[in-house]
Amino acid sequence: MTWTLGDTYVVIIGAMSASACALLGNYLVLRKMSLMGDAISHAVLPGLVAAFLITNSRGVGAMFVGAVIVGLITAVFTQAISKFGRVEEGAAMGVVFTILFAGGLIMIRQQADHVDLDPQCVLFGNIETFYSDALIGTIPQAGVNLAVVLLLDALFVMLLYKQLKITTFDPGLATSVGIRADIMHYALMIMVALTAVASFEAVGSILVIAMLIVPAVAAHLLTDRLPVMILLSVTIACIAALAARVYNVYAPGVFGSGIQADTSAVMAVATGILLVGAIILAPERGLLSQALQRIRLALRIVQEDILGLLYRQSESRRTGSPTSEAEALLGNAVRGLVARWAVYRLRARRLVKVDHTGSGQVALALTDKGEARAARLVRSHRLWESYLAQHSDLPLDHLHMPAERVEHYISPEMVDRIREDLPEVDLDPHGREIPPPDAES
């Protein structure tokens, strides 16, 4: 197959549908109301059916009124059940939308012989029909409806950006400055209902929730700034629409005709793939980033442990104390792949050097720079031991391990505060000298 004008129409309509949903989905995600998008996208079904039965028309005006009424009913009933029934809000949403959605399906089935409503279209959309419409040079009505709704959503977000932002992050503050959080909540629900109705013909009620939530969740993983999050969510939605149509156009020729699927379904899968990519590759919250952070932290701790052991070994030699225990600990610390890499990094940073002993053995030793860095670490450790000994009931043999863990995270400011709290202490609880501050310079 080759790309045609009809495919371009399908991409544009899919992108408009996904972008309209993504714009509002950001606020649903940030308000922790993702299920409310699912609830409204399903619950408006009886409103659509009732509007058709009353007006005998599938015009967007009648459908919008029916959807808005049922969308508001969903929001009101959810809050009422949560408030008066004292149940969790997510459970209240589940009760309301499942009952309303089931009622809508029953209404469709009962009137199936008398009305022109296709349950398959309502549930899964019918974006493929836009292809044939586009071939004869017409713009599908669903495309016009989606363009209008996308424009309304964009105006809603831009004109009420400040109100939406403050009621999303701090409803109490919004109320105190005169912004009605409840009005903004219901306005958002109305826009979600309108967007869901406009998107039904493209992606169907089942897949509207994917367009409402998944792009926003993926964007939230990538940034904490709301304007950037909105822009990223719309970009992800458009990429999913393009990828879905590209797949359906070219995949059958590569893998066989059996590989083709509904474009709306492939759009949902594409957003899921992009979400997985964000989960793995997000700069701060991504699995890869977190794994690298843990590796860097583990490597830093191993390096600092080696510096501390080398300092204690050197200290033992200066004071004439037995060094066998320190040497044994050091020997255990530098074994393994991570430890070897830590030693390599310490040498590269000129904190550690290789000493050749008289017996021909190779040993590690601190450079002047490494001595200062190790002294700062040992100073933090021994000051924290002294602080614990003075302010806690821990026995003497229980002080080392807590200090061993904390020494890697104590900032210079905290060291100064501990020193101020222990002005007369020069030895740790074990009788070892606390390195002076000038050892850090």
What is the per-residue pLDDT for 54? 83
Same structural domain for residues 43 and 174?
A: yes
Q: How confident is the model at residue 161 (pLDDT cuts 50, 70, 90)?
A: very high
Same structural domain for residues 189 and 338?
A: no
Same structural domain for residues 390 and 358?
A: no
What residue numbers bound the domain in which 436 lies?
A: 375-441
Q: What is the mean pLDDT of the chain?
A: 83
Same structural domain for residues 305 and 437?
A: no
Whichever domain contains 438, its CATH number is 1.10.60.10
Paired tokens of 248: 């359906």
Higher pLDDT, 226 or 93: 226
Lowest mean pLDDT of 222-226, 331-335, 369-373, 429-433, name the range.
331-335
116: Cβ contacts below 8 Å, ≥ 6 apart: 58
Distance CA 165, CA 157 (A): 10
Distance CA 262, CA 124 (A): 9
Same structural domain for residues 307 and 352?
A: yes
Q: Which of 366, 389, 420 lies at the terminal end of a domain, its last residue? A: 366
What is the per-residue pLDDT for 441? 41
Lowest mean pLDDT of 37-41, 160-164, 176-180, 288-292, name the range.
37-41
Indicate the number of domains in the chain. Answer: 3
Contact 73, 189 (CB under 8 A): no
Same structural domain for residues 139 and 16?
A: yes
Same structural domain for residues 18 and 105?
A: yes
The answer, yes or no, to whether residue 304 has pLDDT greater than 50, is: yes
For 42-48, what is the mean pLDDT? Answer: 78
19: Cβ contacts below 8 Å, ≥ 6 apart: 150, 234, 237, 238
Paired tokens of 188: 């958002």
Same structural domain for residues 354 and 391?
A: no
pLDDT tens-place string over residues 196-253: 888 876 777 667 888 899 999 999 999 999 999 999 999 999 999 999 989 988 887 7
Same structural domain for residues 140 and 113?
A: yes
What is the per-residue pLDDT for 288? 95
Element (H, E) at 363: strand 362-366
For 346-351, what is the mean pLDDT? Answer: 92
Closest by CA position to 134, among listed 312, 11, 289: 11
What is the per-residue pLDDT for 338? 77
Q: Which of 366, 395, 422 lies at the terminal end of a domain, its last residue? A: 366
Higher pLDDT, 239 or 104: 239
The reply to whether 286 falls in a domain is: no
What is the per-residue pLDDT for 44? 77
The reply to whether 193 falls in a domain is: yes
Q: Which of 344, 366, 388 lies at the terminal end of a domain, its last residue? A: 366
The reply to whether 137 falls in a domain is: yes
The reply to whether 123 falls in a domain is: yes
Closest by CA position to 25, among listed 153, 146, 122: 153
- Cβ burial of 269 (10 Å; 0-12, 13-18, 19+) is middle
Contact 74, 67 (CB under 8 A): no
The reply to whether 285 falls in a domain is: no
Distance CA 141, CA 130 (A): 9
The reply to whether 184 falls in a domain is: yes
Whichever domain contains 76, its CATH number is 1.10.3470.10
Q: How confident is the model at residue 392 (pLDDT cuts 50, 70, 90)?
A: confident
Same structural domain for residues 177 and 54?
A: yes
For 42-60, what is the mean pLDDT? Answer: 76
Same structural domain for residues 82 and 188?
A: yes
> Among 166-170, 332-336, 408-412, which range has the highest average pLDDT?
166-170
The reply to whether 283 falls in a domain is: no
The reply to whether 316 falls in a domain is: yes
Same structural domain for residues 352 and 407?
A: no
